[in-house]
Homo-oligomer: A and B are copies of this chain.
Amino acid sequence: MDFERVRRFAEIRREYGSGYINLNPIQRGGILSEAARRALLEFGDGYSVCDFCPPEEARLDAIRRPPIREFMERLAEFLGMDVARVTTRCRESKFIAFRMLAKPGEYVVVDSLAHYSTYLAAELAMLRVKEVAHQGPPEYRISPEAYLQRIEEVERETGKPPAVALLTHVDPHHGNLVDPKPIAKICHEHGVPLILNAAYTAGVMPVDGRSLDVDILAGSGHKSWAASAPTGILALRGELAERILARSAIKGEWSGRSFPKKELALLGCTVMGAPLATLMASFPHVVERVKGWEAEVEKARYLASQLERIEGTRILGVKPKMHTLLHVESEGFYRVSKTHKRRGFFLYEELRQRGIVGVQPGLTRHFKLNTYGLTWEEVKRVAEAFQEIARKYGLSVH
């Protein structure tokens, strides 16, 4: 291959680096800490964390230099769980739990606001999905009773409870926080383990699996732990840990080879380098930052109230907001887009001119943003930018 054709890849740069306020809902919790930035370079090379892989165990979670083993113990403790592993993505954590707890064709009960990857994880594990209804706009509530209904439906249909249930702790659409406890209670009364998808919560707000009574917790390092992609968290409680982390049982019929130390569903090792190093290096920062969660929610509520001052604009989901992810519905900006020569792109472009990015280009009627980790000054700049744009296009600001 001709070098000139590929030379440009060596020069890739991030266009929206520092200097912009990035409101992208999936990005706020994944901005690296300074310690993580140092760790990235330190452990950038390939299998950099494997220098001291203990031959007798030969598994990522057994490594003591760097202290991966201890990190996973502290991670489990921090989440109020018994055992933790790092996976390549939250979706892989969900797949692993589905794969190891259910047989092909069995049911998993899932809230209907789940991330798309929850559905795909179930599909890849060859499971059938029974969706828990939400209560529709504008709040999109998920109730424990709706879980009960679906569990009983599965029982009637198949003569046994679903293999597993999943709740999205904060959903990616409206940023609703759902209390897992009453749902866990119902699940457990029916003998159903509950997975909590904590991609938007663990790492930014306090999450204690034990007091929430969840059996499995799936998290996302790049979404909420100030870590590089791809990093997922799989934290487990009780006896389920053994089922989910079951060791490989395959044996070569010719060679006799077997791999009884390897955790099957993790395919042995997972994140063998840089992103794990960032997750570890950011951990002290994360342990501290979750204590400031209330202040983060305050900033989101402030922005919500300022956006709702704009004509025809409201925030969807349960209020008051309990998370920094906001779903904005704006009939006002939508109306502007209809006659603007840039159509829906005007909002994105106006914001960008003001140093603000992360609102999806083209969207005006429904868009999402996340204030997590912004300073008060930045939140105010964002609020003022939206209001300024509104006024510029003739929308009133109450």
A31: chain B residues within 8 A (beta carbon) = 45-46
Q: Flag A259-277 by CB within 8 Å of B: 1 or 0 each.
A: 1001011011011111111
Q: Is A338 in the interface zone, CB < 8 Å from B?
A: no
Q: Is A249 in the interface zone, CB < 8 Å from B?
A: yes
Please state if A116 and B24 are interface contacts (CB–CB under 8 Å). Answer: no
Given contacts A119-B257, A252-B131, A273-B228, contact A24 B47 (CB under 8 A): yes
Q: Is A392 in the interface zone, CB < 8 Å from B?
A: no
Q: Which of A181-189, A281-289, A377-385 contacts B (4 or more CB under 8 A)?
A: A281-289
Please state if B5 and A273 are interface contacts (CB–CB under 8 Å). Answer: no
- Cα separation A10 to B47 with both chains bound (whole Å): 20
Please state if A255 and B112 are interface contacts (CB–CB under 8 Å). Answer: yes
A267: chain B residues within 8 A (beta carbon) = 89, 91-92, 95, 117, 120-121, 124
A259: chain B residues within 8 A (beta carbon) = 116, 119-120
Q: Flag A276-304 by CB within 8 Å of B: 1 or 0 each.
A: 11101111110110000000000000000
Contacting B at CB under 8 A, from A3-31, are: 3, 5-17, 22, 24, 26-27, 29-31
Q: Is A152 in the interface zone, CB < 8 Å from B?
A: no
Least CB distance from A348 to B in Å reads 11
A112: chain B residues within 8 A (beta carbon) = 252, 254-255, 257
Q: Is A36 in the interface zone, CB < 8 Å from B?
A: yes
A227: chain B residues within 8 A (beta carbon) = 46
- Which of B9, B265, B282, B283 sits near A284, CB closer than 8 Å? B9
Contacting B at CB under 8 A, from A38-71, are: 39-52, 55, 65-67, 71
Least CB distance from A163 to B in Å reads 15
Please state if A131 and B254 are interface contacts (CB–CB under 8 Å). Answer: yes
Most chain B beta carbons < 10 A, residue from A47, A112, A272, A283: A47
Q: Is A354 in the interface zone, CB < 8 Å from B?
A: no
Please state if A47 and B223 are interface contacts (CB–CB under 8 Å). Answer: yes
Least CB distance from A368 to B in Å reads 12
- Cα separation A104 to B105 with both chains bound (whole Å): 12
Please state if A15 and B51 are interface contacts (CB–CB under 8 Å). Answer: yes
Q: Is A230 in the interface zone, CB < 8 Å from B?
A: yes
- Chain B residue nearest to A229 (CB atoms) is B273
Q: Is A253 in the interface zone, CB < 8 Å from B?
A: yes
| Complex A-B, nearest 8 residue pairs according to Cβ-Cβ distance, in ascending order | A30-B46, A229-B273, A46-B222, A10-B35, A88-B88, A131-B254, A228-B274, A229-B272
